Copies of this chain bind each other. A is one copy, B any other.
């Protein structure tokens, strides 16, 4: 049987479904991406009417969150001018996003993937990403 790396497609679909429910609840259409343990894309959905420019951002937030095993929100705080990771957004050929919306997916306390959300304010993106990640943790 073909092997998934950390996150199966079935799990990614469940995560996306939970994220869409939260997005519908707060009435903000979103772009939703899930990457696996190797930081490679497993599944993506753009809700009707969600920003076109966020197709790329959602995927890159998911990549970033798994690449550094943390919330992109936290990375962002450390990447402002004067802080320890300022300039990190120039690395990884433009794939590093340093604002809220990327959240790691954990299994038994270990990061095995990530979800990335883009389409609303930072607070909205973070809220929806956390809803998706919570569905995986269950």
Q: Which residues of A contact B (CB under 8 A)?
A: 1-6, 8-9, 12-13, 29, 36-57, 60, 63-64, 66-69, 76, 79-82, 84-94, 96-100, 110, 121-123
Give the docked Cα–Cα distance between A102 and B52 (Å): 15
B98 near A3 with CB under 8 A, answer no
Q: What residues of B have a CB within 8 angstroms of the CB of A76 in the complex?
A: 86-87
Contact present for B64 and A53 (CB under 8 Å)? yes
Q: Closest Cβ of chain B: how far from A28's Cβ, in Å?
A: 10
Give the contacting residue for A56; candidates B4, B13, B48, B91; CB below 8 A: B91
B86 near A96 with CB under 8 A, answer no
Interface of A is mostly: loop
Task: Chain B residues near A5: list those with CB within 8 A.
Answer: 5-6, 37-38
CA A38 to CA B46, docked complex, whole Å: 13
Cβ-closest chain B residue relative to A29: B2
Most B Cβ at <10 Å: residue of A67, A82, A90, A98: A90
Give chain B nearest CB distance to A116 CB in angstroms: 11
A97:B90 contact, CB within 8 angstroms = yes
Judge whether A99 and B85 touch: CB under 8 Å: yes
**Besides the known contacts A5-B37, A38-B38, A41-B44, 20 further A-B residue pairs in the complex with CB atoms under 8 A apart:** A1-B49, A2-B29, A4-B49, A36-B38, A43-B43, A43-B45, A53-B63, A53-B64, A53-B91, A54-B68, A79-B87, A80-B86, A81-B81, A84-B99, A84-B100, A84-B122, A84-B123, A89-B90, A90-B96, A90-B98
